[in-house]
Amino acid sequence: MTYSPTPSDSTTFLMELDHRHLIHPHQTGAQRERCVFVRSKGCSVWDTAGREYLDVSGGGNWVAQVGHGRAELAEVAAKQMTELAYYSSFFEFSNDKAVRLAERLAGLAPEGINKVFYSGGGSEGVDSALKIARLYHYNRGATERSWIIGRNLGYHGASLGSGTVTGFPPMQQGVGPLLPHVERVSPPYPYRASELYGDADPTDFLIDELTATIERLGPGNVAAMIGEPMLGSGGVVAPPPGYWPRVRKLLSDNGILLIADEVVTGYGRTGVWFDSARRGMQADIIVTAKGITSGYAPMGAILMSDEIGETIAGEGAYFFHGHTYHGHPTAAAVALANLDIIEREGLVDRAGPIGSWFQAALDPAAELPHVGDLRVEGAAICLELVGDRDTKQPIMAGPAVLELRRRHGVLVRDYGPMMILSPPLVMEQQDIGRAADAVIEVLARVGPDGEPNAR
C-alpha cells in the first residue's frame, strides 16, 4: 500500500493502517479511535489533522522533562551517530559517552552510590536490579536469599520480572507462572488509611506487616524490597515522613537490600534529582529511566553502591548479564546533553513552583463532588476520582481523560480512578492555567459513574 499524505486523508489512512498492523501497549480492544501524532514542540504536540494538544502528561509517560522538539538534542544525536552510533559495551568494550554519563550520574546520585549499569528503559532496569540483588547475596554465600518484596499499587514495569513485582493484578493475569519468590505488602496510602489500616497508625501498621512478612519468609531468605519513593502510577501517593526510615532500618537489621524505583521520580520530577534520598530510603540500588533522556532516546540507568557493584562485577566475580543497547553511545550522548539542559535551565527547581501553580489553579477541583483527593508532589499531580466523597468508592478516570483530549486538546493520563498530570518541567503558568481550567470544566460535569455529562 502506498501512502501520499494530505491533510484530509492522512488521519483516516494512518488509523486504518494502525488497526491493521499495530498492537498498542495497554490496549483496550474496544477503543477504536486513534490519535496519531506527527510533531511536537515545547509543551505541545500536533496530530495528523494539524490539531494542537497541550501535553500535561510528559509525552504520555512521565517523560519530556525538557519539553519537546529540542533541536540541541537532535544535533547531539546526529553528531554522535556520525561519529560512533553504536558499539557493544560487553566485555572490555566501552565508549566515551557511556563512561562520562556514568561519572555524571555518580556525581548526582546520593552519597555512596557510584556504580552504574545501563538499561534500555524502566522494566529492563528493574529486572536487572532484581537480578543484581539476588546475585549480590549469592556471591556473598547467602544463596538462600531469593525473595523479593514489592508493594500493592507499586508500578515497576511490564517484563516478566518487573511485572511480577508490580502491584497491579491485570499485569499478571493470564501470563503466569510468574517470577517465583515474590511477595507483596501494603503501601502507605493516607487518603484510604481507615479502610486499609483501621484505627492503627499507618506507619506502625505497615512496619508490623512488613516485619511479619519478613518473619514468615525467613529473614535469611529475603534478597530485597523494591518500592517507589512515592507511588507514581498508583496515584502520586507520598508516604508519611517516618515510613521509609523505619523500613530502611528494618531491612538493614535483616540484611535485606532496598531498591528504590525512581523511574518516575528521578531527574527532577518531584523537585530533587533523586526522591529516595530526601525520603530517607538510603537505597542500595536506584533504578532510573525516563527523565534521563527526557524521552529523546530509550535509556535507563541502574545506580548502585560501590559494595554491590564490586560484589557482582568486581575482582573474582562474573556478571553474565546485559543487553545489546547497554551504554548505547547515542542514547548516552543525548542523556548527557539532556542533563546539561536540566541543569542550565534549573528545571529541577522548577518542579516545585509548577506543582504550586497547579495546586492553586486546581483548588476549585478539589471541592467537586467526584474528586476525592488532590495530591501534588512537585510536578506530579493526581486527582483521585470517587463516586461519593463519603464512601470513597473509586470511579474510572478514563472517560474524563478522553473528554479532556477531545474537547479541550489537553493530554493527561488515567490509571484506574487516578487522573495524573506530569507536565514537562518547562511548562509556563499560562499553560498550567489552561490545563487546570479544562480539568475543572470536565470534572464538574463528571457523574457518579465517571462519565462527563453532555454540555
Of residues 244 through 283, those in contact with ligand PLP by CB under 6 A are 261, 263-264
Based on CB atoms, which residue is closest to ligand PLP, 14 or 237?
237
Question: Between the CA of residue 87 and those of 58, 90, 247, 338, what are the distances in Å?
Answer: 30, 9, 41, 21
Say if residue 332 is exposed, middle or buried (CB neighbours under 10 Å; 0-12, 13-18, 19+): buried
Using CB under 6 A as the binding rule, whether residue 417 contacts ligand PLP is answered as no
Residue entry with cell 554491590: 308
Based on CB atoms, which residue is closest to ligand PLP, 210 or 302?
302
Shortest distance, CB of residue 288 to ligand PLP, whole angstroms? Answer: 9
Based on CB atoms, which residue is closest to ligand PLP, 159 or 221?
159
What are the beta bridge partners of residue 31? none
- SS3 call for 305: strand
Shortest distance, CB of residue 126 to ligand PLP, whole angstroms? Answer: 6
Shortest distance, CB of residue 162 to ligand PLP, whole angstroms? Answer: 6
Using CB under 6 A as the binding rule, whether residue 378 contacts ligand PLP is answered as no
* Site track 26-65 with ligand PLP (rule: CB under 6 A), x = hit: -----------------------------------x----
- Options 97, 137, 156, 434; binder of ligand PLP; rule CB under 6 A: 156
* Site track 86-115 with ligand PLP (rule: CB under 6 A), x = hit: ------------------------------
Write the single-letter amino acid at 14.
L
- Options 122, 235, 239, 378; binder of ligand PLP; rule CB under 6 A: 122
* Sign of the C-alpha dihedral computed for residues 49, 53, 55 and 60 taken in this order: negative
Number of helices (H), then strands (E), belonging to the chain: the values are 14, 15
Look up residue 160 and give its three cell numbers.
516478566
Shortest distance, CB of residue 174 to ligand PLP, whole angstroms? Answer: 20
Cα–Cα dist 127/11, whole Å? 38
Alpha helices in 222-381 (DSSP H): 243-253, 275-278, 306-313, 329-344, 347-361
Shortest distance, CB of residue 2 to ligand PLP, whole angstroms? Answer: 34
Based on CB atoms, which residue is closest to ligand PLP, 77 or 286?
286
Which residue has the CB atom at the shortest distance from ligand PLP? 122
The piece of 150-158, 201-209, 274-282, 402-410 that touches ligand PLP (CB under 6 A) is 150-158
- Options 102, 126, 365, 412; binder of ligand PLP; rule CB under 6 A: 126
* Sign of the C-alpha dihedral computed for residues 385, 68, 17 and 26 taken in this order: negative
Based on CB atoms, which residue is closest to ligand PLP, 123 or 203?
123
- Picking from 240, 260, 258, 241, the residue whose alpha carbon sits closest to that of residue 249 is 258
Specify whether the CB–CB gap between 227 and 188 falls below 8 A. Answer: no
Q: What is the CB neighbour count within 10 angstroms for residue 34?
A: 17
Using CB under 6 A as the binding rule, whether residue 155 contacts ligand PLP is answered as yes
* Site track 205-244 with ligand PLP (rule: CB under 6 A), x = hit: -----------------------x---xx-----------
Nearest-5° angle of CA 414, CA 419, CA 421? 100
Q: Which parts of this chain interact with ligand PLP (CB under 6 A)? A: 61, 121-123, 126, 155-157, 228, 232-233, 261, 263-264, 289
